[in-house]
Amino acid sequence: MSYTGPGFEPPPARRSRSRLLTVALAALVPGALLGWAVYAIVGGSGDDKGGGSAAAGASGSAGSSASASSRAPSSAGGSASGESGDPDGGKPGGSATSGSPSDRASSSAPAGSGPLKGKVVVIDPGHNPGNFRHTAEINRQVDIGTNSKECDTTGTSTNAGYAEAKFTLDVAHRMRALLEEQGAAVKLTQDADRPFGPCIDERAEIGNKAKADAVVSIHADGSGVGNRGFHVILPGSVHSGAADTRAIVGPSRELGERIAGNFVRVTGNAPSNYVGDGTGLVTRKDLGGLNLSTVPKVFVECGNMRDSKDAALLTSGAWRQKAAQGISEGIVSFLRG
């Protein structure tokens, strides 16, 4: 997506007493409000690439997992990815690589014990590293209830060629490891295990058929230089054609708020300075991945790949681990009520 907005004003420097104040707040302030409170106190340095993380004191933290990133496949699509016009994903119909959503989804190992035992989480890594080789297929129109849209896009990339599709898979792998440690059964909508896709409608169907307790679609934005920060996209109330989000608007907002609060707290990064009026929350009715969902679902735009400061974070493995942890802890908080 591409937006214009005011330039980013760097937050004030961290103060030496910030850690003590953060711990105190962690005991006093629940839910999404905690994230913004901590950000206001510690200054929310957007340039932190993995130094002292506030995540150490998080309730139910799954900790770091080096094995998660080691499973990430390499991406062939880095230099070919263009700026994304839509954060949805994609798959063409009638492909020999397609199949039922339950067949195509990449499932986790059997869930173990933990606070999320019995819960199903679907992670939707935006786009696919191979999409750029299949532009005709991903340009095919699909029905999203309110209108038709492209099956998918290639996604965006940093100016140096680090592809959004590679970023989303890496974060998804890290999230899968963290959530499985909490006992959840985790499914990915794609794991670079198909030439392209799936389409936005099939991505939604995968979550629906899994009867997921939560679905999170992972993305990075392609906005203008100076536009910084993350935002969480929530489904608006849509009742048109095949789309009916009325039952999921409320729980999806709660999921989004908890993710946003934990993302700020764990990463120390500010919400977007160009959409969401500083809340980190944006409601949209034009995304098929949300419109066609029948289970709680949100999109997370983790940062802006076209801004050099955000790009430095997005290309850091240490920061991606923190992003995965912040999102995962938001999911845990939502599912545990």
DSSP character at residue 15: P
Phi, psi of 210 (to 5 degrees): -75, -10
The set of residues, in sequence order, having a beta carbon less than 8 Å from that of 121 and lying 6+ positions away, is 179, 184, 185, 186, 187, 212, 213, 214, 215, 216, 331, 335
Q: Which two tokens stand for residue 10?
A: 């760097």
Interatomic CA distance for residues 318 and 15, integer angstroms: 23
Q: Which two tokens stand for residue 81?
A: 């990815």
Catalytic (active site) residue 301: yes
Interatomic CA distance for residues 256 and 5, integer angstroms: 23
Q: Which two tokens stand for residue 70?
A: 């080691």
Given the residues 150, 205, 257, 301, select the one marked as catalytic: 301
CB 163 within 8 A of CB 47: no
How many H-runs (helices) and E-runs (strands) does the chain carry?
Answer: 11, 11
CB 183 within 8 A of CB 113: yes
CB 181 within 8 A of CB 334: no
Crossing angle between the packed helical segments 164-181 and 317-336, to the nearest 10 degrees: 50
Burial readout 26-48 (b: 16 or more C-beta within 10 A, e: otherwise) = beebeebebbbbbbebbbbbbeb
The set of residues, in sequence order, having a beta carbon less than 8 Å from that of 24 and lying 6+ positions away, is none
> Of all residues in the chain, what percent are helix, strand and coil, respectively (each to 5)?
35, 15, 45
DSSP character at residue 271: B
Using only C-alpha atoms, what is the Rg of the chain? 18
Q: Which residues are catalytic?
A: 301
